[in-house]
Structure 1
Amino acid sequence: MIIKQVSVFLENKSGRLNEVTKILSDVDINISAFTIADTSDFGILRMIVSDPDRACETLKQNAFSVQTTEVVLAKTPNKAGSLSKLLDILQKEEVFIEYMYAFSMNDDGAVTVIRPTRIERCVEMLQKHKTELVRASELYSL
């Protein structure tokens, strides 16, 4: 239920994102989801990948600044109001969210990647409210 996310610090230069994707592709690591937050000087690429430990090791060997963080993946129906219901649960249970992003799986639903300040509490509250959580073992079959 708690998944490792890979964060890569990138200089805001042409081609840096492409370098990361090629490096991961060369070692057969799949990117399931990603988001980029940027400033004028640098960006942070956050990714859910098929092998986070190997991705970090490989990227570090190629001179990238990389770290892992823990996130929760919540699965919801892909229809209007589903995200609002998820956020209502977290707000009512006083789970603070640092950031989040999502991806759609069309008819199979949507997955929201959540980085809470207290990850165990987040998992506990989502389970209490019968929210389907994605396990690491099933992540790569999505």
Structure 2
Amino acid sequence: MTAKQISVFLENRPGKLAEFVDLLRGSGIDMRALSLAEAADFGVLRTIVSDPDKAQRVLAEAGFISAVTPVLAVAVSDEPGALYRILEILRDAEINLEYSYAFTTRRNQGAYMVFRVADDCIPRAAELLARNGIEVIEQEEIYGL
């Protein structure tokens, strides 16, 4: 019902993102999605990868500060209002959306969205979305995208 997202603190200086990406590349880990938010001195990189457990180990060994966070990943069809429908379901259930980002794959013509909601809301959000015909993507499915 959830995907494992890795959040990494990166110094806001030239080459740190390249260093991070090179570390994953050298370890045979493929990124499926990526979001980077910056602040004055550091950025918070959020990523969905092909092997989150291995990525967490590799990052720790390399001295990166990171954490694994459960998130919802859902398929969004390529039609007007598709995202609104998802947001409406969450709103009506009074489930707060902390942040979100999107990614695409070769699998279909739509996109995928990652939603972060409070840990205790994840099961209810996933059930509500699925009950309303929204495809919730499992971690194992993301590996194959």
TM over 0.5: yes
Matches within 5 A, 1:11-26: 11-26=11-26
CA distance in 1, matches of 2:105, 2:64: 30
Out of 127, 131, 138, the position equivalent to 1:135 is 138
Deviation track 1:22-79 (CA, whole Å, cap 9, x = no partner) reads: 0000010000001011111110000000011110110111111011000010102122
**Deviations 1:73-130, CA, capped at 9 Å, x for gaps:** 0102122211111111111111111111012347531101000112112112112212
The 5-angstrom pairing of residues 41-56 of structure 1 reads 41-56=41-56
Unaligned runs of 5+ in 2: none
Contact 2:29 2:55 in 1 (8 A): yes
Range 102-111 or range 39-48, more displaced: 102-111
3-state SS in 2 of match to 1:97:
coil
Match of 2:34 in 1: 34
TM-score (norm 2): 0.93
Q: Which has the higher strand share?
A: 1
2:60 corresponding residue in structure 1: 60
Structure 2 CA distance, aligned partners of 1:129 and 1:104? 22
**Aligned residue pairs: how many?**
142
The residue that corresponds to 2:72 in the other structure is 72
Aligned pairs (5 A) from 1:76-91: 76-91=76-91
The residue type equivalent to 2:72 in the other structure is V
Secondary structure at the aligned position of 2:128 is classed as: helix
For the Cα contact (< 8 Å) 2:51–2:143, is it kept in 1? no
Give the share of equivalent positions with the same residue, in percent: 39
1:103 to 2:103 alignment: yes
**Alpha-carbon distance in 2 for matches of 1:79, 1:104:** 14
Is 1:113 paired with 2:96? no
Alpha-carbon distance in structure 1 between the residues aligned to 2:70 and 2:45: 15
Q: Which moved more, 1:42-51 or 1:80-89?
A: 80-89
Amino acid at match of 1:85: R
Whether the 8 Å CA contact 1:2–1:135 is kept in 2: the answer is yes
Cα root mean square deviation, aligned:
1.3
Displaced runs of 4 or more, over 2 A? 104-108
Q: Which consecutive unaligned segments of at least 5 residues does structure 1 have? A: none
